[in-house]
């Protein structure tokens, strides 16, 4: 029933008509629906990116009918991720920042920082590697302060890739080694292998 309502909502053309539909189907005005729409957007984002964007924008229409910052932030992050993969980088950057700000304002520092993980890649694609490094540093500091060592290590891995692009191979090796140790601790063997591969690239220079 709920998935059918969501599909109907997403297929409506204009936001004002979506709003009317949601008001007439009050079951849609629920944070649980927004979480389901976020999951749907995540599933579609690589294979059907425009569809993922449509789902995220529809979720934002519903968010306008309720006062739930977490739902708003999740929907905005879903929108950012779709825009990112569609190559609309400036729009994606804005959406990532908006999602981060809403999470931060609601006191969720970890989710705020998670919203910047995609921003790091966007900044790199926009030719702003030093801004990407600064953002990565901020993310890692927040994750470290909240004992999210696995998330911090994943960002460190991305940070090492940026260092490689800047020909700062010793810096890259330092963060790769630190990340690898965390991945090993968590028995994340695929990530251990990725860290090893990246270190091999740095050693080759």
pLDDT tens digits along 75-118: 999 999 999 999 999 999 999 999 999 999 999 999 999 999 99
Give the phi and the psi of residue 60 in degrees, each rounded to 5: -65, -35
pLDDT tens digits along 134-146: 999 999 999 999 9
Instruction: Report the chain's C-alpha Rg in angstroms.
Output: 19
159 CB-contact burial (10 Å; exposed 0-12 / middle 13-18 / buried 19+): buried
User: Rounded to two decimals, what is the model's pTM?
Assistant: 0.91
Q: Please provide the average confidence, as pLDDT, over all residues in the chain.
A: 94
pLDDT at 205: 60
């Amino acid at each position: 029933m709920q998935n059918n309502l969501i599909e109907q909502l997403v297929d409506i053309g204009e936001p004002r008509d979506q709003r009317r539909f949601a008001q007439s189907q009050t079951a849609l005005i629920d944070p649980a629906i927004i979480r389901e729409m976020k999951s749907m957007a995540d599933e579609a984002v690589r294979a059907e990116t425009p569809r993922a964007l449509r789902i995220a924008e529809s979720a934002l229409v519903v968010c306008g009918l309720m006062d739930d910052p977490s739902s708003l932030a999740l929907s905005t992050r879903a929108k950012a991720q779709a825009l990112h993969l569609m190559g609309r980088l400036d729009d994606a950057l804005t959406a990532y920042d908006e999602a981060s700000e809403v999470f931060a304002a609601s006191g969720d520092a970890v989710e705020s920082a998670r919203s910047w993980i995609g921003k790091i890649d966007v900044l790199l694609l926009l030719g702003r590697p030093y801004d990407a490094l600064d953002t990565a540093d901020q993310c890692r500091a927040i994750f470290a302060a909240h004992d999210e060592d696995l998330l911090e290590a994943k960002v460190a891995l991305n940070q090492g890739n940026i260092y490689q692009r800047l020909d700062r191979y010793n810096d890259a090796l330092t963060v790769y080694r630190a990340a690898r140790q965390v991945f090993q601790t968590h028995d994340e063997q695929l990530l251990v292998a990725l860290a090893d591969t990246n270190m091999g690239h740095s050693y080759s220079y």
